[in-house]
Structure formats: structure tokens, C-alpha cells
A and B are shown apart, each in its own frame.
Chain A
Amino acid sequence: MQLSRDDLKRAYTAMFTIRAFEERVEKEFADGTIPGFAHVYLGQEASGVGVCFDLTDDDWIGSTHRGHGHCIAKGCEIEGMFLEIMGREGGICGGKGGSMHIADMDKGMLGANAIVGGSPPLAVGAALTQKLRGTDRVAVAFSGDGASNQGTTLEAMNMAVILKVPMIFVFENNGYGEFTASDYSVGAASLADRAAAFGMPAQTVDGADFFAVHAAMRDALEHARSGRGPYTLETRCSRFLGHFVGDPQKYRGPEELAEARANDPISRFRDRVGEAALLDMAELDEIESAVRARVDAAAAAAREAPMPSLATLETDVYVKY
């Protein structure tokens, strides 16, 4: 399926926004303006964007602790995201959530999640809502290779199959959960094999290739929307940095680290559209400068923004109490 020039620009804008946003997060973290931890999505941009490309605000995604890329791919505003991860007033969650809890119900973003394996059962529920209401919308649960071993994830896979809900399990396999390699922690040959054992179709794709992820997601969406139940995608990605910003990564050898950086989804996208003469490099460069300017402005504004009012400490625990 051929993408239009506008589609390609939209994909590149989203991918590059994630890249620039996360590079800025790395820098802000070093400057001490981001409290707590930061898990960045550098190297995995094509996976999130490929998966979310054909989703609308009425489709749901559940995300992970490494959620900034998913938020951007699903359309969350980066201005509110910077405010949130710096803990400022006006953040998407009022500064109460932080990097690992960005959620935007208007954009179908059910939340980043600091509990590994937290999202898959929630996404089953979001998909159940679609099934019961007869919409043609779907729910997606993003998980890592590490999260694939969590009981909640495995329970959700089985339940999604037997309830035949319109849902897609996306396993972003970046080779590691924290400091432990998936070669060690996952006992099956592939995550797609596991999905097959649960009774759902699955594909494993190159997660650094936007086009491959997007094409596989189209298959998954067609399956889910036609009432045939859930689908699994395993996107093989590389994690450019450590588990969190500042992780010294002694558990990865130098060759592996170099390979991870070489498999860059941004340059692969550029090469691909360049070779096929789909877009001019100048057009992509223009996108990059516009994105960088927006990211810089958003981060600078967030740095100057006030802290949330202390009066908000005890609000929003309940709707009514």
C-alpha cells in the first residue's frame, strides 16, 4: 500500500519529533530540570509511529514506563508533555503524574505505566468497550520484551483471545528488560511463537523500519476490526541508550552498542524515501528544523513554568468524596 507524500511527511514529523524530544530530555535531565528518572525511546521511533499511524483519537493505546514516544505517536502535545515531566503547572496531568504516567484521555492515550505489565489487561478492557458498543475502534497494548514475562500480560493475551476483542498486543523487543537480556529472560524462540500458542496470529517485524511496522499493523488492524479477535506484533528494536538516562550499560559490549546506534530508524526512513525519490531531502530537512524549533520552545517554556499550586495536592483523588 503506497503512502502519499503527506502521509510520509506526517510519519517523518512524528518520528523526528520523538527523536528531538528525547534528545532534549537527555539534555534537560543532565541539567537537572527533570526530576526522578527518564526512560527514553531513542532508537525505537519507527515502532511507535508505525503502530499508531492509522489510529485515531478514538482508538486506545496503553503504554509503558518508556512512554514518551507512544504519547507523541498518538498525538499528545509536546508542550504539555515537557511541563508534565518537569512537574509543572499546566502539564498534561497537572504535574501529578510525571514521565511514567503521562495520559491523555482525549487522545486515546490510556497512560504510560510504571508497573511492568500494567497496560495489557487495561487494553483488553478498552477493547471490550469497543466490542460491546459495536464501534470499529481498537485498543493497543505496548509492552517490552521484559513485560512479556509478566503474568498480567499472559493472562490478558488469553482473555483477549477468548473474548475475541479488537486488540493488538505490540511487543517492542529491544533486547533488554533493564539490564537483563531477553535471550536469557524469554524462554520461547520468539514472542510471536508465544502468541500463536495463545491462539492468535502474530508477526515479527523489523522495528527500525517504519514501512515494515506500518504494513504489519495494517494486517493487525484488519484482523482486529473484522471481529476475529486480537493480534500480536513483535517489533525488533534497538535501545540506543541504557535503561534510563545515565545508565552506564556495562552489561552491553561495545560492539553491540555500536550496532544498536547503526540501526537508526530515522536514517533508514530518509534512505528509503530518498532512494525511491518519494520526498526531497530538503523537505525532510525542513521538517527537522521546524520540529527542533518547536521542541526547543516547548522545553524552554516548561523550564520557566511555575510549579503546581499546593492546593492541588489533595484534589482529584476521587470524583466525589
Chain B
Amino acid sequence: MARISYRKAINQALEQEMARDPNVILMGIDVGGGSGGSGDVGSVGGVMGVTKGLYPRFGPDRVIDTPISESAIIGAAAGAAVTGMRPVAELMFVDFLGVCLDQIYNQAAKFRYMFGGKARTPLVIRTMGGAGMRAGAQHSQMLHPILTMIPGLKVVMPSSPYDAKGLLIRAIRDDDPVVFLESKALYDMKGEVPEEAYEIPFGEANWLREGPDATIVAFGAMVPRAMQAADALAKDGVRVTVLDPRTTSPLDEDAILESVEDTGRLIVVDESPPRCSLAADVAALAASRAFGALKAPVGMVTCPHTPVPFAPNLEDAYMPSVERIVAAVQATL
């Protein structure tokens, strides 16, 4: 199996699905890049190079460079989706959700329910989030809690190249609107990825490691950190389970509850301010459905209730670190 990057895995999923289904189109700012310019058109492939090579292969009708107009990008993709296409719209940074949220939550996410089950909206919104890149308060957020609470929307947070490819293919083939939230800190992460197309189902957690002492639930870029924490704890003889739910909506509640019943200790690692976060959501799940199994208070390792700071030392302190995860596990023992 080839070892490829998270970035390349996403690119491969897009290329294979576009080749398979002519209804799959891409649209977004600079997804081709260079339109109207005096140099190479389509040579850019997105600000992170994720869609590189797709414009030369599929052309301007299927890889559509758009103006900087997020409401129109997302709304047009939703409108195309509900009328028969399978658009993959790119919202360059998830921070720009603020510009286009209406088209997502009042429009795309509600069509099926409001229309009495008569609509299908196979829309994928690819977007990226996360801190650590020194990008400042308006380019570093994750915002998955805001998306996860919207009924009608599915939310995917891939944490490895293998998952990124399989989950994106699943998202494109899904008949509901899906936000595919990439972690920009992971684009260069490498891993084994099959060449052929494959799907990873939504709502099924990945059991990355099994151990009897505690359960760590982590999302997106926090998953590799949780694994590092698990390694560090193993050196002290503490063996933990690490669960990656892969999708925050639907959420694999059964896997989380099953593991908590086994270990009796739960630590949730979430790249988000704590209030109304996935950490709070999963902690509430355990408190309401596995209270009897809990041997210690649930540990929540999150960001503080602040915007993301710019200065590197402040930003590092903002992020849940491996040390904080280790300490949170130890506090439950």
C-alpha cells in the first residue's frame, strides 16, 4: 500500500469520484486558480494545494473558480445539489462560516425536513480548520460544535490519510449535506492508503487502541495527540483506550458508552472552547447514560474560552497539549 499524505488522500478521493460520476463538481475560491490571469490557469489547486491537478484533468465546467462570495458559493452548491448534481463546495477556512451560515443551516440542512421528505441534497462542503499555524483569530478556529448542533447536517472530522479518503468518498456518495472538516495541521501527515476507492461509514468510531484503564475520546487533529499521550502513559504502565468517533454527527454513542462501561474513566480531547463543545457533549452522554460505570469525574481537555491568539507562545498554550492530556488521564486514576 502506498504511503501518501492527508492532502493527497483527499485529492485522490476527489479525483476518483469525479472520474466515476459526472455529477460530481468542485466549486470554490481558487480551487483551480489563475482564472482570467496571464499565466497558467488551473495550476494552483487551492491555497493548500489539495485540489491540484483536478482543473487540468476535468476542466473549468467541473472545477469552478468562484468570486469571493461565500454565501453564493455555498448556496449555489446547495441549489445544484437539490436539483441533481453532487457538488463539493470548498469553504477555504471554516472561519468563513460566518459569511455563509444561512445557506447551510437555514437552507441545505433543512430542505429534507421542511419539504416533508421530498428533497435530497447531496452536498459536500469541504473546509479546513484548526489552530497552530500562527494564522490569527479569524483563520484558526475549528467550529465543529456550531455545525454539529444543526439537525439535517452531517459532520466529518478525519484524523488520518486513510480516514480522509474513505470518509470523503462516503461523503460524496451520501445523499445528505455533509461538512467535511479537514484539520490543516494534518495536511502533511502520511499514512497507508489503498489506491482503489473505498468507503468508511459515518457514525462508526475507530478503536485506535484498547486498554482497560481509561477511555480517551478525541476528534480530528486531537487524535494524533491522544495517541502520543497514550504512548507516554503506557511507559508508566497506564493502558488506555483511544476512540476516534470520525464523525461528530452522527456520533457513535454506542462505542463511547461501551468503552466507558469497560474502563470507568473518560477523558475527552476537543479543539474548541469548552462551552457547548464536543467535550461537553460527550461528557453529558456519559453522565446521562453511563453514570453508574464512572469511577471519576469526566476529564475535559479543551481550549480556553477565548479567541485564538496570534503570538506563538500564546497559541501553543491555547491548544490541548499532550502533557495536558496525560495529566487529565492521571487525574482520573
Decide: A98 and B136 in contact? CB cutoff 8 A.
Answer: yes
Query: What is the 8 Å Cβ interface bit string for chain B, positions 141-183, against chain A (1 contact, 0 not)?
Result: 0000000000000000000000000000000000000000000
Contact flags (1/0) for A64-104 with B, using CB distance below 8 Å? 00000000000000000000000110010101111111000
Return the chain A residue nearest B307 by Cβ: A317
A35 and B310 in contact (CB under 8 A), knowing A117-B68, A146-B67, A179-B30?
yes
Q: List A contacts of B291 (CB < 8 A).
A: none
A62 to chain B, nearest CB (A): 14
CB distance from A259 to the nearest CB of B (A): 10
In the complex, per-residue mask of A143-169: 1 if CB is within 8 Å of any chain B CB, else 0? 000110111100000000000000000
- B36 interface hit (Cβ, 8 Å): yes
Provide the B34-75 mask, 1 if CB < 8 A to any CB of A, else 0. 111111110110010000000000000000011111111000
Which residue in A95, A117, A185 is a CB contact (below 8 Å) of B311?
A95
- The answer to whether A150 touches B68 (Cβ under 8 A) is yes
Q: Give which listed residue, B34, B137, B310, contacts A180 with CB less than 8 A.
A: B34
The residues of B that contact A185 with a CB separation of less than 8 Å are: 35-36, 65-68
Binds A, one of B94-102, B214-222, B251-259: B94-102
Determine the residue in chain A with the shortest Cβ distance to B93: A114
The one of A35, A150, A255, A307 in contact with B38, judged by C-beta atoms closer than 8 angstroms, is A255
Q: How far is the CA of A91 from the CA of B71 in the complex (A)?
A: 34
* A149 contacts B67, C-beta separation under 8 Å: yes
| Number of B residues with CB within 8 Å of any CB on chain A | 45
**With A87-B134, A101-B136, A150-B69 given, is the CB distance from A180 to B99 under 8 Å?**
no
Report the Cα distance A95→B313, complex, angstroms. 10
B133 within 8 A of A: yes
List, in ascending order, chain A residues with CB within 8 A of B72's CB: 151
Q: Indicate whether A36 sits within 8 Å of B314 (C-beta atoms), given known contacts A177-B68, A251-B33.
A: no
B317 CB–A CB distance under 8 Å: yes
Contacts of B71 in A (CB 8 A): 151
Cβ A314 vs Cβ B306 within 8 A? yes
Indicate whether A249 reaches chain B with its CB closer than 8 angstroms.
yes
Q: Are the CB atoms of B37 and A95 closer together than 8 Å?
A: no
Residues of B within 8 Å of A314, CB to CB, are: 304-306
Known contacts: A184-B65, A307-B313. The answer to whether A251 contacts B40 by CB under 8 A is yes
* A312 interface residue (CB < 8 Å to B): yes
- Docked-complex contact B313 and A178, CB < 8 angstroms: no
Interfacial chain B residues near A317, Cβ < 8 Å: 305-307
Most A C-beta atoms less than 10 A away, residue of B37, B139, B306: B37
Nearest to A184 among chain B residues (CB) is: B36
A96 touches B96 (CB 8 A): no
Q: How many A-B residue pairs have CB under 8 A?
A: 163
Contact A87 B310 (CB under 8 A): yes
A173-214 CB mask vs B (1 if < 8 Å, else 0) is 000111111111110000000000000000000000000000
Given contacts A146-B68, A186-B67, contact A152 B37 (CB under 8 A): no
- Give A100-115 as 1s and 0s: 1 = Cβ < 8 Å from B's Cβ atoms: 1100000000000111
Chain A nearest CB, measured from B308 CB (Å): 9
Does B309 reach chain A (CB closer than 8 Å)?
yes
**Does B312 lie within 8 Å of A97, measured CB to CB?**
no
Kindly provide the distance from the CB of B231 to the nearest chain A CB, expressed in whole angstroms: 27
Is A151 a contact partner of B99 (Cβ separation < 8 A)?
Answer: yes
Residues from chain A with Cβ under 8 Å of B138 in the complex = 100-101, 113-115, 118
**Closest residue of chain B to A310, judged by CB?**
B317
A183–B36 touching, CB < 8 Å: yes
* Most chain A CB inside 10 Å of its own CB: which residue of B38, B99, B318: B38
A10 within 8 A of B: no
Given known contacts A36-B136, A100-B136, A251-B41, A180 and B311 CB-to-CB distance under 8 angstroms? no
Instruction: Known contacts A149-B69, A250-B39; decide if A114 and B139 are in contact (CB<8 Å).
Output: yes
Choose among A152, A179, A181 the residue that contacts B44 (Cβ–Cβ < 8 A).
A179
Known pairs A36-B134, A36-B135, A96-B309; A179 contacts B33 (CB<8 A):
yes
With A87-B311, A97-B310, A115-B95 in contact, is A179–B69 under 8 Å at CB? no
| Contact flags B16-41 to A (C-beta < 8 A → 1, else 0) | 00000000000001100111111111
Closest to B92 in A: A178
Q: Which of B39, B66, B68, B138 has the most CB of A within 10 A?
A: B68
A27 contacts partner chain B, Cβ-Cβ < 8 Å? no
Q: Which residues of B contact A100 (CB under 8 A)?
A: 136, 138-139
Chain B residue with the shortest CB-CB distance to A91 = B311
17 example contacts (A-B, Cβ-Cβ < 8 A) are as follows A35-B311, A36-B136, A87-B134, A87-B313, A93-B310, A98-B136, A99-B136, A117-B99, A147-B68, A152-B99, A177-B68, A178-B33, A181-B36, A184-B37, A185-B65, A251-B40, A310-B313
17 other A-B residue contacts (CB within 8 Å) besides A256-B38, A313-B309: A36-B135, A36-B310, A87-B310, A87-B314, A88-B311, A96-B310, A101-B138, A114-B138, A150-B69, A150-B99, A185-B36, A185-B66, A185-B67, A250-B43, A253-B39, A307-B314, A308-B314
Q: Residues on B close to A: CB < 8 A?
A: 29-30, 33-41, 43-44, 47, 65-72, 95-96, 98-99, 133-139, 304-307, 309-314, 317-318
Q: Return the 4 tightest CB-CB contacts between A and B, nearest first.
A: A184-B36, A251-B34, A181-B36, A98-B310
